[in-house]
Structures are given as C-alpha cells and as structure tokens.
Structure 1
C-alpha cells in the first residue's frame, strides 16, 4: 500500500471550489426563474395575438399591424436565448467539428453551418486553431485600412442588433475613419 503525503491545501481548495459551484448553481437557478417568467409573459402575449386573429378574416384583412408585435416578441426571445449559458454536453463534439475532426457530414443544421468558436477571453490558443478563425483573419487582412477601421468599429455595438447605414456613416465620419466627400459610396462598399 502506497502512502501519499497529506496536503491540507487540497482540502481547502476543494471546499472553496464546492462553495463557488454552489453559488453558481444558485445564480443559475435564479436565472432560470427569471427567464422562465419572462418567457411565460411573451408566450401569453403571443397566444393572445394568435387567438385574437380570426382565421377566416386573415386573408381579407391587412395584418401588417401584428408584424411589429411578433417582431418585438421574437427580438425579446432572441435576447433571452443569447443570455442562456452553454451547458450542453456537446462541447467536445462542437470543438471537434470546429477543428475538422468530426466525421458526420450530414449535420448541416437546416442549411446553416454551425461553427463553435471558443471565446477569445477563455482560450486564445483554442480560438486560433479554428479554421474559421484563420479564414476570417485572412479576409480581414485583405481589406484596406479604411475598411478595417469600419469593421472593427462594430465592436462597440451590441450583439444581434440592427445598425442603420446612415448612423454608421455619420459615426465613421465623426471618428475620422471616412471623409465627408464620398462617404455614402464608401459605406456601401464596406457593407
């Protein structure tokens, strides 16, 4: 029987990690409660919109008024979706797919390629191994300096939001990225 020297720090680290895990699980439960409540609210709104539509009149009445309501609900649900942390057991499969180690070519996710990109804040080494990262870097390097500046400025906008071309043009002019003359054509070229 082999004896291993006792490490008092090991127990302290285990206790610390256990406390942190319990705190994170508590936060996750609270998050689930909050998101669940908000989803229920949106589901109720959506169901009431659908219920108020008389299917016999839908073809004859203009229903454009409901479009903005549905788009608003879709945007709110999409925002909630992006707040949910990735907790699935598919992480290793996703990494394998990103690195080209995955054999299942049939999974094309309804015509859209799914790409796992590890967060740069998590592990730069994993991120730079991705083929997609190299492709994006190559495309970026092919841009001229003006286009690079315009593209990098998107980092100040929230994710998954519509940004109007005119607003971008004025912002880029204000930052000195684009000249006033010919700005509209330059914005069209960049976008």
Structure 2
C-alpha cells in the first residue's frame, strides 16, 4: 500500500496534480503561514494550477475572495514562485509586476487563481457553490478543505472523485469525541484518494 506522501504526489518522481482547489479558512496567520506556503509547495512541485477558494461574503474571521489578491500580492513581493504564478493567474496588477523585475514576458509559470465559493459561512455545502467554483472544480484532481466548518462539520464524510485532504483543529469536545474519538484541540489531517 502506498504512503500518504506518495498518494499526494510528494515522493520523488511522482506526477504532480493538474489542478488543486484549496478551500481556505481564517485570515491572518492561517492563510499567510499555512495555506499560502502549501500553495507555494504545490506550485514548486509542478501542480499545473492552484486555485485558492474563499468565501464570497465575510464570516467570522474567514478570509474573503476579495481580500486574497492583496494578501497574495504582498507574499509575491517575497517569493518568486508565488509572484510568477500570481502573474500567470492574473492576480497582480501591471504596476506591481513592473516594479519587481520586468520578467512578465519571460514567465512560464503556472497560474495561481482566486475563486469565490458563493457563500458567507464557515461551512460549505458543495452542492450549492458559485458557477465560477463549479467550473474550476470540473478538472480538479486534488481538493484541500481547511478548517473545522468546511472539513469536519459539512464534509467530513463526503467522498470525492479526486484526491482529498481535510485539515482542521477540533474546537468542540463533543465533535472531537463523535468524529475522531479524540479531544478538543486535536488536529485532523485526513487524506482520501480519489474514489
């Protein structure tokens, strides 16, 4: 049986995914130190497209799709991989691109895109998403659901036709006992190969 690292395509010589959808959660450190570095790693290892999926409307402390391009642009000032991918995905305005190094025309990078999910909740019903997300999901071969609402409350038992990774910290003792037979503040990292 192959390891989780092999299934995710992280072993040397394995093929990267074509399109990864990363359902992001909280603003602040969660996106800056968690999901953006994960997106960067997917791009670095050759994933053809990385799509950051965020709420259309504000909910609690979740980052919104409207806020993400500014966050990506700031990170792109410090990381060439993110900069090239954001340029290719149309996330950076020309003024910012020109101030970096003028290499827009030489960019052969893959796109990094932001898509609205069509809701304003910490949870997500994947049967009711924006048309933009539905179109982006059509060719996805990796879905990463982050956060207790998206990965545990509403999609813990969901099965996908592509590889799925569900990431969360359980912040409710009853839910921890019911779903993972664990405790509050336990972390969940559940990988499921395509079904």
State TM-score, norm by structure 2. Answer: 0.23
State TM-score, norm by structure 1. Answer: 0.23
Which structure has the higher relative contact order (CA within 8 Å, separation 6+)?
Answer: 2
Query: Which has a greater percent of strand?
Result: 2
Q: Which has the larger radius of gyration?
A: 1
Query: Which has a greater percent of helix?
Result: 1
